[in-house]
Amino acid sequence: MKKLLWEIQRRYPEIRILESNTGEDHLHMLVSIPPKMNVSKVINLVKSNTAREMREKYHFLDQVYVDRSGIWSVGYFVSTVGINEEIVKKYIEYQGKEDSGQAKLAF
């Protein structure tokens, strides 16, 4: 997944993916976008590009998700970050370990 995200950043240099981590059924990202870009547009770019790449790489997904929009759910959660960006970066970096009990972080 990280390779796909970096490819999106290469295609759209104004989008900076600062941190990312994947779960079994979700993705955490810290993204910097210019004020001229709409957050929903960026989410759409990420979802559509990663879904297309995953379908090309894993052909069995066409049988699992018949609907072309089926890989990602419709919803998403977005929060803006200001002064506590470092805390959010650490949260994303260690999210998988925290979920499995491997890391003990206090936020």
Q: What percent of the chain has pLDDT over 90?
A: 7
Q: Is residue 51 part of a domain?
A: yes
Tokens of 28: 């955490």
**Catalytic residue (one of 12, 65, 76, 91):** 91
pLDDT tier for residue 98 given thresholds of 50, 70 and 90: low
Q: Is residue 106, in this structure, part of any structural domain at all?
A: no
Per-residue pLDDT tens over the stretch 4-34? 888 888 999 999 988 888 877 778 888 888 8
In-domain check, residue 27: yes
* Mean pLDDT taken over the chain: 79
For the chain, what is the domain count? 1
> 75 pLDDT exceeds 70?
yes
Res. 69: pLDDT tops 70: no
Domain that holds residue 75: 2-100
What are residue 55's phi and psi, to 5 degrees? -65, -35
CATH code at position 66? 3.30.70.1290
Largest CA distance in the chain: 45
Tell me the torsion sign for CA atoms 12, 17, 22, 26: negative
* Any domain includes 38: yes
Whether 107 is covered by a domain: the verdict is no
User: Which pTM does this prediction carry?
Assistant: 0.65
Q: Name which of 91, 69, 71 is nearest 79 in CA terms.
A: 91
Contact 28, 17 (CB under 8 A): no
The verdict on residue 77 lying in a domain is yes
| Residue 65 annotated among the catalytic residues of the structure | no
